[in-house]
A and B are shown apart, each in its own frame.
Chain A
Amino acid sequence: MLAYTVRRLLQFIPTIIGISLIMFCLLNVLPGNAALMAGGKRELSPELIEKMKKDWGLDKPLYVRYLIYMKDLAHGDLGQSFLRQEKVNDLLASRIWPTLRLAVSAMVIALTIGIPLGFFSALRQGTWGDSASMIVAVSGVAMPQFWLGLLLMLLFSAKMNWFPTSGYGDGDFIHLVLPAITLGLGSMALLARTTRAAVLEVLEEDFIRTARSKGLSRFLINRRHVFQNTLVLILTTAGLQFGSLIGQTVIVEKLFSWPGLGSLLVDSIFLRDIPVVQGGILMIILAFLIVNLVVDLLYCVIDPRIKYQ
């Protein structure tokens, strides 16, 4: 399994090279550039713009810029922000922790509520409890995040005054609650639905009939036979959800002025601060790849049929 892990990690390299190429091309054909954006509403003199372009290396041809970028990347250097006087590495480093905190909290909400809710629904299939939880789950999946976030803000911050409207505070818990719920609710709903379907599928399996023919109680069967087999079925979905949560932080962070990777990314896109955008997207993709790897390794742990060499 160690050899497998190492091999998978090595495979990250070509993946990242491929993606960085696509990203580089796309970002550099975007209309507008940082020099134009830097002036905001003011008209900058053509000379100044040319000077800025030269400073940032934007006057060189595209392929030269790519080669320079790749050479720096190979050294782990993501370059210099156009508009902030900081290295991209430092900028990202300071933003990763808030994003990770937000995404992990959202995932914890999704897992600890979604999975039990799905179980509850499946075991009470067809009752009003089942219907009620699935209605909640469907609305959760269907609700756009920015709308849900605004709604929560309006209700729990503006009206009830329980939580701060936005911001990071000093990294305290109270600031985390609303953004984490906003981010996690969709995944929670999706996990609940997936879990419900998975449980119903497992309950139809022949080995459940075998377990019942042994005289085991329903409780024991659910705990010992249904649960583990359900996990195998929902692990992929859970992993994908965590990956997409990291992507969705872009919206939620912007909405709640959360100083994470997502809001940095959005700001930098609007300002055409290309090195920061490239670095941020690479980070998110790396997170995706790592989550995928962890899911595959987890499979190996819970399912004896899966062996990697």
Chain B
Amino acid sequence: MNHDDVLLNVRGLKTYFYTLDGIAKAVDGMSFYLDKGETLAIVGESGCGKSITALSIMGLVPQPAGKIVNGKIYLNNDDILEYPESKMQDIRGDKIAMIFQEPMTSLNPLMTVGSQISEMILRHRRVTKKESWERSVSMLEKVQIPSPGRRAKDYPHQLSGGMRQRVMIAIALSCNPQILIADEPTTALDVTIQAQILDLMLRLKQDYETSILMITHDLGVVAEVAQRIIVMYAGKIIEEGNVFSIFENPRHPYTKALLKSIPKFGNRTEHGREPLQEITGIVPNLYKLGSGCSFCPRCKEAMDICKIKDVGLTDLGNGHRVRCLLCKSKREE
């Protein structure tokens, strides 16, 4: 991280949930950075802590169970975890904006979509109500909603899921944020709509020069949009690298398994009926994590020592890092 382009720098972030069942280490020592103009993808199965990582950056960890217990989050070299709530409110929406997974429920059902965009603009920009409305309409146009002037007066229930997600994008980009966090923005949508939304995001990213933190459980999405990938498992980074090296040379058994589970276009016709590979076993229970590698119970290449020995990230060079004893021992030989 000794280059100048780092926009967001997360160091040793730990976000835990204190519940009646015990402590869930939803985010357990995440360190990563996001460069200016970059798209970074965080990939992992459901429940591994992706959303909580995002919400920690936004300062919106679910209260009162959730708590950031450790770490630093630098935005432009300023630790925003030190900020009081009022200063965080200035940042949210203005510097960092977020799109959520659930387009059907993320908009207030009793407000027109136009006023839900303009309330964001009014919050962060010195404009009149009328100007904010005009900007809202032009945002709707930018996200390619037909007849935006009329649509602005619609209520969310009058729009489809894809349209609502476009509205969410319009809200998020309306104050031209430096960072856009997109938490599984297409997961809840139909496949055809998914492609359109991703396309739209990529195009707007160019126009707005926004950096994107793209959260997804779908590696297929990642290949299209991201420059770098972080693979997350049970609150920890287990592999990190640029798209090319992760896809061509995955090192962690979990990453390999994830890649095998993507349906490849044309595979079926070439090789006949090859079944898709699934990762066997279940997502670990965060309340019952023991020592050793958390993936060990599901790992095909697990060794005895994996059950007991915690393992750090091994640097493979060129920004490729992996948390696995297999790689560690190979390097040390």
Residues of A that sit less than 8 Å from B by CB: 126, 205-207, 209-217, 224-225, 228-229, 232, 302-305
Interface residues of B in 139-193 (CB under 8 A from A): 155, 157, 168, 171
Contact (Cβ within 8 A) B92 A303:
no
Question: Least Cβ distance of A204 to chain B in Å?
Answer: 9
Contact (Cβ within 8 A) A216 B89:
yes
* 10 nearest A-B pairs in the assembled complex, by CB-CB distance: A215-B92, A215-B93, A206-B105, A304-B155, A214-B93, A215-B89, A207-B108, A214-B120, A206-B106, A213-B98
- Which of B64, B88, B109, B168 is packed against the most chain A CB atoms within 10 Å? B109
Q: Which of B90, B106, B107 contacts A215 (CB 8 A)?
A: B90
Contact (Cβ within 8 A) A205 B105:
yes
The answer to whether the Cβ of B260 comes within 8 Å of any Cβ in the partner chain is no
User: Can you list 20 A-B contacts (CB < 8 A)?
Assistant: A126-B64, A207-B107, A207-B109, A209-B60, A210-B106, A210-B171, A211-B108, A212-B92, A213-B92, A213-B93, A213-B100, A214-B119, A214-B120, A215-B88, A216-B89, A224-B119, A229-B109, A232-B110, A304-B157, A305-B157
Question: Least Cβ distance of B68 to chain A in Å?
Answer: 16
A207 to B111, CA, bound (A): 11
Question: Least Cβ distance of B323 to chain A in Å?
Answer: 31
A239 to B98, CA, bound (A): 39
The answer to whether the Cβ of B58 comes within 8 Å of any Cβ in the partner chain is yes
Interface residues of B in 60-89 (CB under 8 A from A): 60, 64, 86, 88-89
A304 to B110, CA, bound (A): 6
Q: Which A residue sits closest to B157, measured CB to CB? A: A305
Q: Which B residue sits closest to A211, measured CB to CB? A: B108
The answer to whether the Cβ of B225 comes within 8 Å of any Cβ in the partner chain is no
Question: Least Cβ distance of B310 to chain A in Å?
Answer: 34
The answer to whether the Cβ of B94 comes within 8 Å of any Cβ in the partner chain is yes
Taking CB atoms, residues of chain B closer than 8 Å to A224 are: 111, 119
Question: Least Cβ distance of A21 to chain B in Å?
Answer: 42
Question: Least Cβ distance of A132 to chain B in Å?
Answer: 20
Contact (Cβ within 8 A) B91 A206:
no
Taking CB atoms, residues of chain B closer than 8 Å to A207 are: 105-109
Contact (Cβ within 8 A) B109 A305:
yes
Q: Which B residue sits closest to A206, measured CB to CB? A: B105
Interface residues of B in 209-253 (CB under 8 A from A): none
Contact (Cβ within 8 A) A215 B155:
no
The answer to whether the Cβ of B322 comes within 8 Å of any Cβ in the partner chain is no
A217 to B120, CA, bound (A): 11
A209 to B89, CA, bound (A): 13
Contact (Cβ within 8 A) B123 A206:
no
Taking CB atoms, residues of chain B closer than 8 Å to A225 are: 108, 111
